[in-house]
Amino acid sequence: MFAFCRSFFCAVLLPCLFLVANGFAEERTILPRPPVASAGTSVRVVSPGGILLPRPDLVVSLSCDTKATAGDNLPVVVTVTNKGNVKALGTSEGPANKAYMVDLVWSSDSVIPVKSAVQPVTQGLTKDDFVEDMLVLGGRISNTQSILPGKSVTYKLPVYVPRNMQPGVYWLGAYVDSQGHVMERRENNNTASTKVSVGTLQGTNTVVPPGGDFWVMPWAVGNTPLYKIKPSGMIDYADGLSGKVMNDAPFGGSLGFRHGYDNRLPTPQFSYYRWLYRPAPGGSWQEFSETIGAHYVRQVGLAVSYPVYVLGPKNVAGKNLYEFRPHKPPAEPGAVTSWPATDWFGDIYSGKLHAIDGPTWGCKRRRVFGSIERMIRCVAGRQLFTSTSSAIGSRP
């Protein structure tokens, strides 16, 4: 074991009509005449002239950071705009049963249901638990301002990220007039969502589940062993062509991570691993999401091909996990499959990270990924443990 690795650890599995004139489209609600239809048909008849009903039309947008930490608050700005032709009443002016409110919800996808959201506590859980399309704690904006036609109002509030939210990609959604109190020109444009990557809390303890004696060890970034990476995240190396020595050189924009592990892995119990990163000197953990695969040999008669077996990321219990390479490649009818004798395809990486997509920290021209840590999630036992390597530096 090298000095940079704190300890051995187990790998565990653990539906309006559009009238067009002079090249411009204007959305209008039409006063209908009684429809005339033959049996078995449905006909929508509109009055001539396209008379606009005197109604508001509320739309919502929201903005926030694209990264958040479970257990923390995420500052959010919500903007409600009235695209109608009469004032939209807020609760500060109109009666509550005729005024709009806004619900904020957490979701695992971008589809925000058009219904009033509820808190997890109504389902026997706690405020720290995540439930699909749940109402954010304190996320119902009930004290709202009236909005004149063509105007907007903005609300700023902290949004709580449930502590037990697993790291991954979620959507923060907003639903204006969530109680359905405002009769609008349109009722199908009241939601919006934005993608947020949720990281884990700081200070995750190193816990080795009992009954496992497998080892996994981070080894290198590219061809640079971790023990050659300085605490600053930079390295010294000799240029292969000129022989010139480069001091305090950064890494490139794409980082490939390598590890070693016990040759008994995978087992039915211990099948997956996970890479997470955080910016130095702190910040929330974020998942790796680049595809990793391994080539195998497929032979049918004298024809040989080299397909790729995708190791991950694979969604397992809401997390991005990667498989340890199976002991045997996938079996295919009529073919003989095997792993190649060496990694001559260059399938040497267990995780990849694009530095230009990551967080920035501090320095004027330096993008630093520090304290890159490797975390394995115990799917069954819900236990976490990490092994720390050194900082990784990169300049854009």
pLDDT tens-digit readout, 347-366? 999 998 876 544 333 322 23
| Of 178, 185, 176, 177, the residue nearest 79 (C-alpha) | 176
Instruction: Assess if residue 248 is contained within a domain.
Output: yes
Q: Extract the tokens encoding 65.
A: 């950071």
pLDDT: is 342 or 220 the higher one? Answer: 220
Q: Which domain holds residue 344?
A: 216-394
Taking a C-beta distance cutoff of 8 angstroms, is the pair 87, 146 a contact?
yes
**Number of domains the chain is built from:** 2
Lowest mean pLDDT among 100-109, 210-219, 358-367: 358-367
Are 191 and 233 contained in the same domain? no
Instruction: Assess if residue 182 is contained within a domain.
Output: yes
Query: Per this entry, what is the length of the chain?
Result: 396
Q: Extract the tokens encoding 127.
A: 């405020």
pTM over 0.75, yes/no: no
Are 164 and 292 contained in the same domain? no
Are 181 and 221 contained in the same domain? no
pLDDT surpassing 70 at residue 263: yes
Instruction: Assess if residue 103 is contained within a domain.
Output: yes
Taking a C-beta distance cutoff of 8 angstroms, is the pair 386, 374 a contact?
yes
Report the sign of the C-alpha dihedral through residues 146, 147, 153, 155, in that order.
Answer: positive
Taking a C-beta distance cutoff of 8 angstroms, is the pair 139, 101 a contact?
no
pLDDT: is 19 or 138 the higher one? Answer: 138
